[in-house]
């Protein structure tokens, strides 16, 4: 039986690996489209002659499935694909042999745990990290030739590969150590997305034919990480659904607070009638901050459950923050008054610390912006007609700053917030208006300012 290996590749090529360790050439073609499931001997590669096939993707061929399933009383073509069976137990252990250089070990562990969580939330599967001895899943970050006849190729190209259940290296996942691993931004290869996909493979899932699924062969950047309905159907077909847990008895009601107390309950601001304190693009989503609350916009829509308390995500941040930004390593910075805080996802790293320690001679930073292109990104801090270039890596502003806001042509001298969108445009907000800044022309676009309440929240009146 031919051994199947899963390859994540950036150049769009697909790889079928045999026991000889040789990768079929990406220009080979699928020689038998009527290929039966479980007969990879007849498989070669699909020619990369379409725009879709040139997208970053996992390198394993996509085998057609001939099985149907009955779903909710209807005959339904199964879109998820299985390969090789399943693991024989549900309480699984995992260990990390080596770590990438771009992230701390603690951060990598949290990312891997989050990638496993999406699978354990919908199945009886549990995952426990072990530091020594045998583990069901073994994770390694390694380079070039590393003992399995499947060499990595340095930055770009093949990102990772994994082994299916019931193969001679069942449970092994290898990531290319030399990739630009990142978290929550477009400036590298997102470890969370790739890890979740590879975990699906070691659990027994092949590629899904459903666009947008975690198990889709095409690498994508999407936050927050969520399984599609197709991913859930596939993994539950193998392991069953998560057992129903009887909810605990409701707690006894707390004593009612009477009007004799002096507590002031603040009302939630109306997004259509407020000027926001700060705005930031975090993990590919827009967060608007006002007082103690945050609004979360994903793919142009306000997420359900928002506005919510900002402390729901970042415990310990103050109310009325002045500015916020996410740096290139995925850490989130908050500024208020003379202090700043730094979080790794939702875990506080430092703060409150003085902004003077960053080389700033001013307080109450009004806006912060991570901006640039082609991996040449800088962080800018804005205050009262001046701006500074800040290096989170050095934890200092550049000595030749501040400079005058006139450098940002067409942008008002005083701004309240700033962020960069997924297309590279910088947005500057003042009051209830915003300006869009072109990274090529280095000027504000024509037709601005516009009212961001109308464009981002769908408000009719401002």
- Please report, for the domain that includes residue 47, its CATH number: 3.40.390.10
| Pair 144, 278 in one domain | no
Residue 19 has pLDDT above 70, yes or no: no
12 annotated as a binding-site residue:
no
190 annotated as a binding-site residue:
no
> From start to end of 307-398, where are the E strands?
308-309, 323-326, 331-336, 339-344, 347-354, 367-373, 376-383, 386-391, 396-397
Give the residue, 59 or 148, on which the prediction is more confident: 148
322 annotated as a binding-site residue:
yes
Give the residue, 295 or 144, on which the prediction is more confident: 295
Domain end, chosen from 239, 262, 291, is at 239
| Pair 295, 429 in one domain | yes
Range of the domain at 377: 271-457
The whole-number pLDDT of residue 40 equals 28
Tell me the H-state helices in 419-462. 452-457
- Find the catalytic residue in 198, 210, 303, 319: 198
Residue 46 has pLDDT above 60, yes or no: no
| 252 lies in some domain | no
What's the pTM value of the predicted model, to 2 decimals?
A: 0.49
| Pair 28, 138 in one domain | yes
> From start to end of 143-252, where are the E strands?
158-163, 172-176, 181-182, 189-190
The whole-number pLDDT of residue 183 equals 80
148 annotated as a binding-site residue:
yes
Query: Ramachandran region of residue 200, left (φ > 0), alpha (ψ -120 to 50) or beta?
Result: alpha
Residue 305 has pLDDT above 90, yes or no: no
160 annotated as a binding-site residue:
no
| 258 lies in some domain | no
pLDDT in tens, 358-384: 999 899 999 999 887 666 788 999 999
| Pair 226, 309 in one domain | no
179 annotated as a binding-site residue:
yes
| Pair 317, 378 in one domain | yes
Could you give the angle at the alpha carbon of 103 between the alpha carbons of 57 and 190, nearest 5°? 20
CA distance 357 to 145: 45
| Pair 60, 171 in one domain | yes
201 annotated as a binding-site residue:
yes
Find how far residue 194's CA is from the centre of its chain: 10
Nearest of 26, 21, 24 to residue 3 by alpha carbon: 21
The whole-number pLDDT of residue 34 equals 26
The whole-number pLDDT of residue 186 equals 64
pLDDT > 90 in the chain, percent = 32
Confidence of residue 198 (pLDDT cuts 50, 70, 90): very high
Domain end, chosen from 221, 239, 257, is at 239
- Tokens 């080389």 sit on residue: 359
Residue 394 annotated among the catalytic residues of the structure: no
- Tokens 């408000």 sit on residue: 459
pLDDT in tens, 75-106: 344 455 555 678 989 999 999 999 988 788 88
| 216 lies in some domain | yes
The whole-number pLDDT of residue 29 equals 22
| 256 lies in some domain | no
Domain end, chosen from 239, 257, 282, is at 239
Range name among 55-69, 187-201, 295-309, 377-391 with the lowest pLDDT average: 55-69
Give the residue, 258 or 289, on which the prediction is more confident: 289
CA distance 167 to 160: 17
197 annotated as a binding-site residue:
yes
| 405 lies in some domain | yes
The whole-number pLDDT of residue 185 equals 66
Nearest of 142, 115, 141, 71 to residue 215 by alpha carbon: 115
The whole-number pLDDT of residue 404 equals 92
| Pair 225, 293 in one domain | no
52 annotated as a binding-site residue:
no
Q: How many CB atoms lie within 10 A of CB 191?
A: 27
The whole-number pLDDT of residue 302 equals 87
Question: How many domains is the chain partitioned into structurally?
Answer: 2
Helix (H, G, I), strand (E, B) or coil at 12: coil
| 172 lies in some domain | yes
The number of C-alpha atoms within 13 Å of 173 and in the hemisphere containing its C-beta is 25
Contact 176, 158 (CB under 8 A): yes
Contact 359, 401 (CB under 8 A): no
Residue 74 has pLDDT above 50, yes or no: no
Give the residue, 40 or 187, on which the prediction is more confident: 187
| Pair 199, 293 in one domain | no
DSSP label of 205: B
Residue 2 has pLDDT above 70, yes or no: no
Confidence of residue 210 (pLDDT cuts 50, 70, 90): confident
pLDDT > 70 in the chain, percent = 74
364 annotated as a binding-site residue:
no
| Pair 289, 224 in one domain | no
| Pair 142, 288 in one domain | no
| Average of per-residue pLDDT across 61-80 | 41
Q: How many CB atoms lie within 10 A of CB 306?
A: 16
């Amino acid at each position: 039986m031919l051994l199947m290996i899963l390859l994540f590749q950036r150049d769009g090529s697909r790889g079928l690996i045999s026991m000889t360790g040789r990768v079929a050439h990406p220009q080979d073609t699928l020689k038998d489209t009527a290929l039966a499931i479980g007969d990879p001997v007849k498989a070669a590669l699909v020619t990369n002659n379409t725009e879709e096939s040139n997208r970053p993707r996992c390198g394993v061929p996509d085998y057609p499935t001939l099985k149907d399933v009955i779903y909710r009383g209807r005959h339904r073509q199964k879109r998820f694909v299985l390969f090789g069976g399943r693991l024989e137990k549900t309480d699984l252990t995992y260990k990390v042999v080596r770590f990438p250089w771009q992230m701390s070990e603690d951060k990598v562990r949290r990312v891997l745990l989050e990638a496993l969580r999406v699978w354990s939330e919908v199945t009886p599967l549990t995952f426990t990290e072990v530091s020594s001895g045998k583990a069901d899943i073994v994770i390694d970050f390694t380079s070039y030739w590393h003992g399995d006849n499947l060499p990595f190729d340095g930055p770009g190209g093949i990102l990772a590969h994994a082994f299916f259940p019931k193969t001679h290296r069942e449970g092994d996942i290898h990531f290319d150590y030399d990739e630009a691993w990142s978290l929550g931004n477009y400036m590298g290869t997102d470890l969370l997305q790739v890890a979740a996909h590879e975990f699906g493979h070691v659990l027994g899932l092949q590629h899904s034919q459903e666009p947008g699924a975690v198990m889709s062969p095409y690498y994508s950047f999407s936050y927050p990480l969520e399984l599609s309905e197709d991913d859930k159907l596939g993994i539950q077909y193998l392991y069953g659904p998560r057992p129903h847990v009887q909810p605990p008895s409701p707690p006894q009601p707390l004593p009612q607070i009477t009007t004799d107390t002096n507590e002031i309950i603040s009302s939630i601001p109306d997004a259509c009638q407020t000027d926001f304190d700060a705005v930031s693009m975090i993990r590919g989503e827009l967060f608007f901050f006002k007082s103690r609350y945050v609004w979360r916009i994903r793919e142009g829509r306000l997420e359900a459950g928002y506005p919510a308390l900002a402390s729901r995500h970042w415990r310990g941040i103050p109310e009325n923050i002045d500015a916020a930004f996410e740096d290139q390593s995925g850490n989130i910075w908050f500024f208020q008054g003379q202090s700043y805080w730094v979080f790794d996802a939702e875990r506080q790293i430092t703060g409150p610390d003085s902004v003077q320690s960053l080389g700033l001679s001013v307080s109450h930073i009004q806006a912060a912006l991570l901006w640039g292109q082609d991996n040449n990104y800088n962080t800018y801090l804005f205050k009262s007609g001046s701006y500074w270039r800040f290096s989170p890596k050095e934890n200092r502003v550049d000595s030749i700053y501040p400079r005058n806001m006139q450098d940002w042509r067409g942008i008002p001298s005083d701004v309240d917030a700033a962020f960069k969108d997924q297309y590279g445009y910088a947005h500057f907000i003042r009051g209830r208006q915003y300006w869009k800044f072109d990274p090529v022309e280095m000027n504000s676009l024509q037709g601005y300012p516009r009212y961001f309440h109308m464009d981002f929240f769908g408000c009719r009146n401002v």
